Amino acid sequence: MLNLLRSEISEIILNKELEVEMRLQLVCQFLKKNVPHYDWVGFYFKNGDKNELKLGPFAGEPTDHLIIPFGKGICGQVALSNQNFVVPDVKAQDNYIACSLTVKSEIVVPLFVNGENVGQIDIDSKTIDPFTVDDERFLEYVNQEVAKIL
């Protein structure tokens, strides 16, 4: 199913009539609406020269986590590791920042521009262990497309 969404993601991202920020917002909304286990979808980006991430466009419930220090939580760990991080059950994770009591699992995939980790896409799910290798490959594709417009 995820492969069927690729062309629509590309269409949103390549729409030059919209500002980059709006295209990212539409990607978040599209993913949240079209993938049943994506309950919160957002982008975090490196905050200038600081060792922290800043929340960018997102779709889902508002979060208090507008800034995340590198190393803190799943997103902060991905900022340092440059690796995908799939958390099947957030309760089993020591270094986890709870955005909502309803979140059961999370996937974070780094976003690279010219080999540099500039941010990430973060997905929360209210389902335990819904993320597969297909989700990882699909979100890597989304980030490769996003990288073209950053």
CATH no. for 2-147: 3.30.450.40
CA dist., res. 76 & res. 139, Å (int): 18
So where are the chain's domains?
A: 2-147
pLDDT by position in tens, the chain (length 150): 888 899 999 999 999 999 999 999 999 999 999 999 999 999 999 999 999 999 999 999 999 999 999 999 999 999 999 999 999 999 888 887 776 789 999 999 999 999 999 999 999 999 999 999 999 999 999 999 999 999
CA dist., res. 18 & res. 131, Å (int): 31
**Contact in structure between 46 and 117 (CB atoms under 8 Å):** yes
